[in-house]
Chain A
Amino acid sequence: KQEVTQIPAALSVPEGENLVLNCSFTDSAIYNLQWFRQDPGKGLTSLLLIQSSQREQTSGRLNASLDKSSGRSTLYIAASQPGDSATYLCAVFGRDYQLIWGAGTKLIIKP
Protein backbone atom coordinates (compact mmCIF):
# COMPACT_ATOMS: atom_id res chain seq x y z
CA LYS A 1 0.00 0.00 0.00
CA GLN A 2 1.34 3.38 -1.02
CA GLU A 3 2.41 5.70 1.80
CA VAL A 4 3.47 9.29 1.36
CA THR A 5 5.59 11.10 3.91
CA GLN A 6 6.52 14.76 4.05
CA ILE A 7 9.45 16.00 6.06
CA PRO A 8 9.69 18.31 7.88
CA ALA A 9 6.19 18.75 9.27
CA ALA A 10 6.92 22.40 9.90
CA LEU A 11 9.63 24.82 8.85
CA SER A 12 10.34 28.43 9.79
CA VAL A 13 13.00 30.38 7.92
CA PRO A 14 13.96 34.02 7.38
CA GLU A 15 12.87 35.76 4.22
CA GLY A 16 15.21 35.41 1.26
CA GLU A 17 16.44 31.90 1.94
CA ASN A 18 16.29 29.12 -0.61
CA LEU A 19 14.59 26.06 0.82
CA VAL A 20 13.69 22.47 0.03
CA LEU A 21 10.60 20.55 1.01
CA ASN A 22 10.68 16.78 0.81
CA CYS A 23 8.12 14.17 -0.18
CA SER A 24 8.82 10.45 -0.15
CA PHE A 25 6.66 7.55 -1.28
CA THR A 26 6.96 3.82 -0.77
CA ASP A 27 5.73 2.45 -4.12
CA SER A 28 7.68 3.73 -7.11
CA ALA A 29 5.01 2.62 -9.60
CA ILE A 30 3.34 5.99 -9.89
CA TYR A 31 1.70 7.87 -12.73
CA ASN A 32 2.41 11.35 -11.41
CA LEU A 33 3.06 13.48 -8.36
CA GLN A 34 1.43 16.83 -7.69
CA TRP A 35 2.47 19.61 -5.31
CA PHE A 36 -0.21 21.84 -3.81
CA ARG A 37 -0.27 24.90 -1.61
CA GLN A 38 -2.96 25.51 1.01
CA ASP A 39 -3.43 28.77 2.87
CA PRO A 40 -5.12 28.56 6.30
CA GLY A 41 -8.80 27.67 5.96
CA LYS A 42 -8.64 27.80 2.18
CA GLY A 43 -8.72 25.37 -0.72
CA LEU A 44 -5.76 23.82 -2.49
CA THR A 45 -3.84 25.55 -5.23
CA SER A 46 -1.97 23.30 -7.65
CA LEU A 47 1.67 24.32 -7.98
CA LEU A 48 3.34 21.69 -10.13
CA LEU A 49 2.39 18.35 -11.67
CA ILE A 50 5.20 15.96 -12.59
CA GLN A 51 4.37 12.98 -14.76
CA SER A 52 6.25 9.73 -14.13
CA SER A 53 8.30 10.20 -17.30
CA GLN A 54 9.53 13.63 -16.19
CA ARG A 55 12.42 14.52 -13.91
CA GLU A 56 11.40 18.04 -12.98
CA GLN A 57 8.98 20.88 -13.50
CA THR A 58 9.51 24.60 -12.96
CA SER A 59 7.17 27.49 -12.35
CA GLY A 60 8.65 30.85 -11.43
CA ARG A 61 10.60 30.47 -8.20
CA LEU A 62 9.42 26.91 -7.74
CA ASN A 63 11.15 23.79 -8.98
CA ALA A 64 9.93 20.26 -8.31
CA SER A 65 12.01 17.19 -9.00
CA LEU A 66 11.03 13.55 -9.14
CA ASP A 67 13.22 10.49 -8.61
CA LYS A 68 10.93 7.49 -8.92
CA SER A 69 13.61 4.90 -8.25
CA SER A 70 14.35 6.33 -4.84
CA GLY A 71 10.75 7.28 -4.13
CA ARG A 72 11.45 10.96 -3.63
CA SER A 73 10.31 14.36 -4.78
CA THR A 74 11.59 17.74 -3.68
CA LEU A 75 10.02 21.16 -3.98
CA TYR A 76 12.64 23.87 -4.18
CA ILE A 77 11.59 27.44 -3.38
CA ALA A 78 14.06 30.12 -4.36
CA ALA A 79 14.37 33.47 -2.60
CA SER A 80 11.52 32.80 -0.19
CA GLN A 81 9.02 35.57 0.62
CA PRO A 82 6.52 36.01 3.48
CA GLY A 83 3.75 35.37 0.93
CA ASP A 84 5.10 31.84 0.50
CA SER A 85 3.92 31.03 4.02
CA ALA A 86 1.39 28.19 3.70
CA THR A 87 1.07 24.44 4.04
CA TYR A 88 2.56 22.51 1.13
CA LEU A 89 1.07 19.14 0.26
CA CYS A 90 2.28 16.47 -2.11
CA ALA A 91 -0.01 13.83 -3.59
CA VAL A 92 0.94 10.72 -5.51
CA PHE A 93 -1.29 9.11 -8.15
CA GLY A 94 -0.36 5.46 -8.21
CA ARG A 95 -0.96 2.07 -9.71
CA ASP A 96 -4.33 1.56 -8.05
CA TYR A 97 -5.60 4.87 -9.44
CA GLN A 98 -5.75 6.35 -5.97
CA LEU A 99 -4.48 9.78 -5.01
CA ILE A 100 -2.46 9.35 -1.82
CA TRP A 101 -1.68 12.45 0.21
CA GLY A 102 1.16 13.45 2.46
CA ALA A 103 0.37 15.19 5.74
CA GLY A 104 1.95 18.43 4.52
CA THR A 105 4.74 20.77 5.53
CA LYS A 106 3.71 23.99 7.25
CA LEU A 107 6.04 26.72 6.06
CA ILE A 108 6.51 30.07 7.78
CA ILE A 109 8.67 32.72 6.16
CA LYS A 110 9.70 35.41 8.65
CA PRO A 111 10.07 38.98 7.36
Chain B
Amino acid sequence: DTEVTQTPKHLVMGMTNKKSLKCEQHMGHRAMYWYKQKAKKPPELMFVYSYEKLSINESVPSRFSPECPNSSLLNLHLHALQPEDSALYLCASSQEGQRRSNSPLHFGNGTRLTVT
Protein backbone atom coordinates (compact mmCIF):
# COMPACT_ATOMS: atom_id res chain seq x y z
CA ASP B 1 0.00 0.00 0.00
CA THR B 2 1.16 3.50 -0.81
CA GLU B 3 1.88 6.03 1.96
CA VAL B 4 0.30 8.78 -0.13
CA THR B 5 -3.49 8.54 -0.02
CA GLN B 6 -5.68 10.01 -2.74
CA THR B 7 -9.44 10.38 -2.71
CA PRO B 8 -11.66 9.70 -4.48
CA LYS B 9 -10.31 6.77 -6.52
CA HIS B 10 -12.75 7.50 -9.34
CA LEU B 11 -14.66 10.67 -10.21
CA VAL B 12 -17.16 11.42 -12.98
CA MET B 13 -18.14 15.03 -13.38
CA GLY B 14 -19.97 17.21 -15.84
CA MET B 15 -18.44 20.25 -17.45
CA THR B 16 -20.37 22.63 -15.19
CA ASN B 17 -19.54 20.84 -11.94
CA LYS B 18 -17.10 21.87 -9.21
CA LYS B 19 -15.22 19.07 -7.48
CA SER B 20 -12.01 18.59 -5.51
CA LEU B 21 -9.33 15.94 -5.43
CA LYS B 22 -7.60 15.28 -2.13
CA CYS B 23 -4.17 13.98 -1.23
CA GLU B 24 -2.64 13.22 2.17
CA GLN B 25 0.79 12.08 3.34
CA HIS B 26 2.14 11.60 6.86
CA MET B 27 5.79 10.99 6.05
CA GLY B 28 6.85 14.51 7.00
CA HIS B 29 7.65 15.29 3.37
CA ARG B 30 7.97 19.00 2.55
CA ALA B 31 7.31 18.96 -1.19
CA MET B 32 4.02 17.85 -2.78
CA TYR B 33 3.13 17.51 -6.43
CA TRP B 34 0.21 17.14 -8.82
CA TYR B 35 0.74 15.19 -12.05
CA LYS B 36 -1.66 14.43 -14.90
CA GLN B 37 -1.32 11.14 -16.77
CA LYS B 38 -3.08 10.13 -19.97
CA ALA B 39 -3.28 6.47 -21.03
CA LYS B 40 0.05 5.02 -22.23
CA LYS B 41 1.82 8.34 -21.56
CA PRO B 42 4.22 9.48 -18.85
CA PRO B 43 3.01 11.64 -15.95
CA GLU B 44 3.11 15.37 -16.75
CA LEU B 45 3.93 17.81 -13.96
CA MET B 46 1.21 20.33 -13.12
CA PHE B 47 2.07 21.94 -9.77
CA VAL B 48 4.67 21.74 -7.03
CA TYR B 49 4.30 22.96 -3.46
CA SER B 50 7.44 23.37 -1.40
CA TYR B 51 7.07 24.11 2.32
CA GLU B 52 3.37 24.78 1.69
CA LYS B 53 4.06 27.45 -0.92
CA LEU B 54 3.36 27.06 -4.63
CA SER B 55 6.76 26.90 -6.29
CA ILE B 56 5.95 25.58 -9.76
CA ASN B 57 2.90 26.01 -12.00
CA GLU B 58 3.57 24.40 -15.37
CA SER B 59 1.24 26.75 -17.28
CA VAL B 60 -1.83 24.84 -16.11
CA PRO B 61 -5.24 26.32 -17.10
CA SER B 62 -7.01 28.20 -14.33
CA ARG B 63 -9.85 25.66 -14.27
CA PHE B 64 -7.38 23.65 -12.12
CA SER B 65 -6.70 25.34 -8.79
CA PRO B 66 -4.29 23.77 -6.28
CA GLU B 67 -4.35 24.33 -2.53
CA CYS B 68 -2.01 23.22 0.24
CA PRO B 69 -3.82 23.72 3.59
CA ASN B 70 -0.90 22.27 5.59
CA SER B 71 2.24 20.22 5.12
CA SER B 72 0.29 16.92 4.99
CA LEU B 73 -2.57 17.86 2.68
CA LEU B 74 -2.84 18.84 -0.95
CA ASN B 75 -6.04 19.57 -2.85
CA LEU B 76 -6.82 20.13 -6.50
CA HIS B 77 -10.02 22.10 -7.11
CA LEU B 78 -11.70 21.50 -10.46
CA HIS B 79 -14.17 23.81 -12.19
CA ALA B 80 -15.58 23.97 -15.71
CA LEU B 81 -13.42 21.14 -16.98
CA GLN B 82 -13.39 19.88 -20.55
CA PRO B 83 -13.69 16.25 -21.74
CA GLU B 84 -10.00 16.34 -22.74
CA ASP B 85 -9.14 16.85 -19.05
CA SER B 86 -10.17 13.24 -18.42
CA ALA B 87 -7.07 11.50 -17.10
CA LEU B 88 -5.43 9.92 -14.08
CA TYR B 89 -4.43 12.63 -11.59
CA LEU B 90 -1.50 11.62 -9.43
CA CYS B 91 -0.32 13.20 -6.22
CA ALA B 92 3.24 12.73 -5.02
CA SER B 93 5.46 13.89 -2.19
CA SER B 94 9.21 14.08 -1.65
CA GLN B 95 11.31 14.45 1.44
CA GLU B 96 12.99 17.77 0.83
CA GLY B 97 11.64 21.06 -0.40
CA GLN B 98 12.16 21.62 -4.09
CA ARG B 99 14.92 24.15 -3.69
CA ARG B 100 17.12 22.12 -1.41
CA SER B 101 17.96 18.71 -2.77
CA ASN B 102 16.92 15.78 -4.85
CA SER B 103 14.91 12.91 -3.46
CA PRO B 104 12.56 10.39 -5.10
CA LEU B 105 8.85 10.97 -5.42
CA HIS B 106 6.35 8.87 -3.49
CA PHE B 107 3.12 8.56 -5.47
CA GLY B 108 -0.45 7.83 -4.54
CA ASN B 109 -2.53 5.55 -6.74
CA GLY B 110 -4.31 8.46 -8.37
CA THR B 111 -7.84 9.64 -9.05
CA ARG B 112 -9.30 8.44 -12.34
CA LEU B 113 -11.24 11.48 -13.58
CA THR B 114 -13.84 11.35 -16.35
CA VAL B 115 -15.37 14.60 -17.61
CA THR B 116 -18.65 14.15 -19.46
Is B one of A's binding partners?
A: no
Q: Which residues of A contact B (CB under 8 A)?
A: none
Q: Which residues of B contact A (CB under 8 A)?
A: none
